[in-house]
Structure 1
Amino acid sequence: MIPGRFASLCMLRYYGLFAILLAIVSLLFSDQLSAIRRSGPTSREEDALSNTSGLVLPLRTLPATFLKDNANSSLRVRATRLLTSHRIPDVTAIVLNWSRLHNVIRIASLLCEPWLDDTVAEVLIWNNSPHKLSYETFMHARCSKQKLKIYNSPENLYFQARFLACMQASTPFCFVQDDDYIVLPEIIQTLRIRIEGSLQTAIHLLPPHEHLSSRLRTTITAGGIHTGFAWLGHGTMLPRHQALSFMSLLSHLNFSEPEIKMADNYFTILSNQIPEIWFDQGIELGGGQPFTVGKEGDDRNRGHITNGCRYLEQVVTQISDPLGSAALDFVKTSRNLDQWSITRAACFGTPCLLETNIRLLPDDVVLECDTAADMLALEDRNMRLMGHDAIAHYIQHALSFAIDGDPSTAFGSRSNARQGDFILIDMLAMPGEEAWSEVAFLIPSENEPMLEQSIFESSQDGRHWRSSSHPVVCGNTDLAVGGTLSECQGSLLIECSVQMPQNDTSFRVTLTTDMPMAWTVFEVWVRTVSNEL
């Protein structure tokens, strides 16, 4: 690509949307493209990541039961979503490269595996580093030339680059991530399925500490602001048109070059929408030189976040003007607080999503303030209000620990369970086998009454629900409570399950009365059971 052709995108603040679109057209005919920053592995995923070649069905096999007496275990199978090879992939995966090339090659290898052939159409490596990359650099990634595209940027465009890359994509959806983080294939599939038809600007994956920070930055004012903050680098799925709309807004606001390069800090804030955030199954890779280091990096980010809030205050006053610019379409006007009350986590091992309305924050957490610029002060206040123990519990017992395939980790609430609390697992699709389904829980024996006081429902579309007429059946395991759940220390874990109707894909458990105990769930999953049982 000729550097001058790309320069028009770099000079975004001096050009209108028409000039931007012309530049995009020129980029679409180039055979070079893009990359950035994160990714990651830990212990339980290492084996999975070393065996990602040639897989078509589930990446990992997890146990269908933990029961001590599992004579019929061969007739029970964890429900998994089969690869729909007939589906046309419509996602461009964008990775920015700066100083962690080894990580980027590993990420590209994962994104190019057959497991994602029904989802990822193209892997676009945007190279912000001055060291040029070529297809030969990625020979060990086993990506075809048709799927892997590389763009060597004439200069480091920082986080602006991921939006420019998405704008030039030929697919309707973009998946973006940094180069020090691994996002598992099943989670990318879940993101793609859930973004379709969503009213959200994007869906963001976050590790527990960032999830908490994002929650506590939710900001609502009497002047029409209802926004929040979430990073994009841990893995974010967004429609391409949202990237176009966002960059058009930055042009309309005459963003300076330093501001536009820090586009990540402005994206969720300027949407004026509480972002949809999921706990991830995060795998950090580390290595290289991170961009944000120490107090200087934190102060820079906080400055841009506060600046974004001030821009939003300015924009909200313009939205009601009937002659307002179309560039303001990125800023949402409807006040929807659903994202605040529902917590979600992406499953490990198969595409699925866990949701709950169980209260994970104190009731006196504050969302309202005078101006959007108070966002960070609001977070600091809420952190002090929670205190060290509550913060540690939120991080150590995140919802993602209930669907990570590891019976030694647990999701838990700090407050007692309340009537109307629900846990919902959306399997997205189920195998069309002649078998019934069971939703299963691995819990401390003390929590058995909670399931006995709950109703179990299932649905094919997430709107129309039918109740199961079958009772809760519980059995013993050889597993005991450990870790930081001191209130349950030494308790044996039990496995409880309920038979559900055949071919439904969503399963919901709703508590019918207040209970004098908190929720603790080590694992929740869906399995199919052969009719021979």
Structure 2
Amino acid sequence: MPDREKNANTARVTTPLHININADNFDTETNFIIKLWEESSIRPYILKYSKGISQQPRVLLFIVFIFLFIFYYNISGESIDKNDVGKTELMQEVDMLTKIIPTEGDGECTAILLNWNRLDNIKIIVKNLCQYSMFKEIFIWNNNVDIHLSDPMFADTHCNKIRYYNSPGNIYFIARYIACSMATTKYCYFQDDDWMIRHLRSMYSNFLRFPNLIHTDTNADVYSSTNWKWCFFNDDIDLHSCYSWVGTGAFTSRGNVLKFLKMTSKTEMSSLEFIYGDMYFTTYLNQVPYQLENSLIELPQENGFGLTSEERMRNKLYMHKALIRLYNYLSSLKNDNSTQDTKEYSPTFYERDVRSPCHNDKCLFLTNKHSFPNIKLFKYKPYINISESERLHSSFFDTQHFISYPYSHAVDNDNSTVWISQDVIRKDDYIGLDLLLPMPVPLTFNLIMNHNSDYFNHLSIQISHDGSDWIQLSPLPKLEIHEISSTTKNNLLLCQFRIRETGFRFLKLVSTRDLNFTFSIYDFTFNGMDNNNDNEVVGDTGLNNNDNDSGD
């Protein structure tokens, strides 16, 4: 064993070590240093004093070190500066749209919150609402006499917009409408204390276009009720109302709230009905709320209101009472030949095309495709209660398709979900986006779908600054169409196009002829990134585009 170790040690020592050196690198670096030395302004001084310090190697070594440090610092500084320029340009490009948010209506709205027994939720909601510039105040009405709200309780929210009212008693839901009547702004926003609402800017932007209409926000399941099962029409008395819950986010004008409070007096509501104002508000205004559909985020639901089957039946009872009172009120106006205007506001239910907020709250999804049958198929009569109305509507039409493939799936930034229209694409059907404000930069749009490519052969692309007057782009932007992998059976199509025009807010893609397949939209997004295609003006997409197709 000792001999083996000795031999092994000898082998390790005597085995030659081969190192491959690339001399070109050394030559380059050496030549560069020599050139730098020859051109250096401090070279004469170093040569002058080199004889004196040559006998002091430590001093000489120190001077060389200082020289190399200065050289390295200058080279590194130039490199950092160049990198920073590139990063700055990239950041400016990325932030071009992320820093652009709507400012119309700033400070013109008061957020109304009701506190009962979930103060921790209220604090979370306050912190969320405080970041939005549309809210001048956050008015918290405290219905719990055992708690006295004050600033120290909300110190962690760092919000300076909070106003409190500690009620001497619990007046339930009507408190939010009284609070709105006390607001100093012309608009109010409502939400309950068990939801986090993410898409406030987009909902508010559409509300500002039509402030005479209540705007509400809910998920696909509830949307299928508030746009179908809970809609009540009777043309004989100008009844055109749909019930919508305001607890998951609602914008309204203060004027509409005052009108509602007056209606509670005109219809001689009982005191018990009065405190359940949420079951009356949207119905009493006799205008279908402008409802947006998207996914919701739940906060802790303990001590909730209206969760048990018994409480749900109670809510439906008051919904029905509201309808009966409204029906009788409108009937009396007809009998008295009243000149009071009871017509449906514009845009009417079937004139509306804004469906869902985009995932990042930067846009709204548009389409003229409705998801439910004509709501006038059922003529409301007071003897039909809410449960019976639900049964009749459900037996006539199943809403499960919409619940599985709702509008919001077209703009949720998730390629595994899809909006599929109930009906095939017809001539003049469209999809589009409301970008919330006029765009100051050219935009690139990305549309992911599971369509027959024939869709792109019969397409018109239109833009508008106000959503009313439309300009057709001619020639069409170049459509870059690719297949992308998918978890579905078939690969999806990705269509990208860039619009160089600026100043527009609305975009829509209009079909110019009937097609035999439905819309199947997986994602629809936009950005301000420059893909270096600005010099391209292309009328032919490679798919035989014909924007003047008559559909014959």
Q: TM-score, normalised by structure 1?
A: 0.75
Structure 2 matches for 1:324-363, cutoff 5 A? 332-334=342-344, 338-340=348-350, 342-343=352-353, 344-362=355-373
In the alignment, structure 1 residue 210 sits paired with structure 2 residue 252: no
- The alignment partner of 1:103 has SS state of helix
- Distance in structure 1 (CA, Å) of the matches to 2:165 and 2:238: 40
With over 3 angstroms needed to count, the CA separation of the structure-2 counterparts of 1:154 and 1:76, relative to structure 1, is closer
- How many pairs are equivalent? 437
AA in 1 matched with 2:127: S
Structure 2 matches for 1:287-302, cutoff 5 A? 287-302=301-316
With over 3 angstroms needed to count, the CA separation of the structure-2 counterparts of 1:112 and 1:206, relative to structure 1, is same
- Distance in structure 2 (CA, Å) of the matches to 1:78 and 1:514: 38
- Distance in structure 2 (CA, Å) of the matches to 1:366 and 1:470: 39
AA in 2 matched with 1:351: K
1:226-276 Cα distance to aligned partner (Å, 9 max, x none): 111111111000011111111111022221111011111111211112221
With over 3 angstroms needed to count, the CA separation of the structure-2 counterparts of 1:188 and 1:76, relative to structure 1, is closer
Offset, 1:76: 8.0
1:27-52 Cα distance to aligned partner (Å, 9 max, x none): xxxxxxxxxxxxxxxxxxxxxxxxxx
Q: Which has more helix, going by share of residues?
A: 2
Contact 1:411/1:520, CA 8 A, preserved across alignment: yes
Name the counterpart of 2:145.
Answer: 130
- Distance in structure 1 (CA, Å) of the matches to 2:129 and 2:397: 39
Contact 1:219/1:367, CA 8 A, preserved across alignment: no
Select which of 354, 365, 368 maps to 2:378.
368
Select which of 419, 426, 438 maps to 2:444.
438
Offset, 1:320: 4.8
1:346-391 Cα distance to aligned partner (Å, 9 max, x none): 222133222211132256x65331525536333321212223xxx2
- The alignment partner of 1:530 has SS state of coil
Name the counterpart of 1:102.
Answer: 120
AA in 1 matched with 2:446: A
Name the counterpart of 1:530.
Answer: 530
- Distance in structure 1 (CA, Å) of the matches to 2:304 and 2:457: 49
Contact 2:200/2:361, CA 8 A, preserved across alignment: no
In the alignment, structure 1 residue 270 sits paired with structure 2 residue 288: no
With over 3 angstroms needed to count, the CA separation of the structure-2 counterparts of 1:261 and 1:368, relative to structure 1, is same
- Distance in structure 2 (CA, Å) of the matches to 1:281 and 1:252: 37
1:63-95 Cα distance to aligned partner (Å, 9 max, x none): xxxxxxxxx999788955724669741110111
Contact 1:306/1:373, CA 8 A, preserved across alignment: no
1:132-183 Cα distance to aligned partner (Å, 9 max, x none): 1222111211112xx1112222222111011011000011100100111111
Name the counterpart of 2:12.
Answer: none
Percent of pairs identical after alignment?
Answer: 23
In the alignment, structure 1 residue 381 sits paired with structure 2 residue 392: yes
AA in 1 matched with 2:378: E
Name the counterpart of 1:517.
Answer: 517
Name the counterpart of 2:39.
Answer: none
Q: Whose Rg is larger? A: 2
Structure 2 matches for 1:96-495, cutoff 5 A? 96-113=114-131, 116-117=132-133, 119-132=134-147, 133-144=149-160, 147-184=161-198, 187-198=199-210, 200-216=212-228, 217-221=230-234, 222-320=236-334, 332-334=342-344, 338-340=348-350, 342-343=352-353, 344-362=355-373, 367-371=377-381, 374=384, 376=386, 377-387=388-398, 391-433=399-441, 436-444=442-450, 446-468=451-473, 469-471=475-477, 473-476=479-482, 478-481=484-487, 489-495=488-494
Identify which of structures 1 and 2 has the higher relative contact order when contacts are C-alpha pairs closer than 8 Å and 6+ apart: 1
- The alignment partner of 1:82 has SS state of coil
Name the counterpart of 1:499.
Answer: 498
CA RMSD in angstroms, aligned pairs only: 2.8
1:176-208 Cα distance to aligned partner (Å, 9 max, x none): 001111112xx3222333223526431111111
Give the unaligned 5+ runs of structure 2: 1-89, 534-552
With over 3 angstroms needed to count, the CA separation of the structure-2 counterparts of 1:96 and 1:477, relative to structure 1, is farther
- Distance in structure 1 (CA, Å) of the matches to 2:104 and 2:130: 17
- The alignment partner of 2:528 has SS state of strand
AA in 2 matched with 1:202: I
Give the unaligned 5+ runs of structure 1: 1-71, 482-488
- The alignment partner of 1:201 has SS state of coil
1:424-472 Cα distance to aligned partner (Å, 9 max, x none): 2111214423xx223321112x343224322110011212211122256
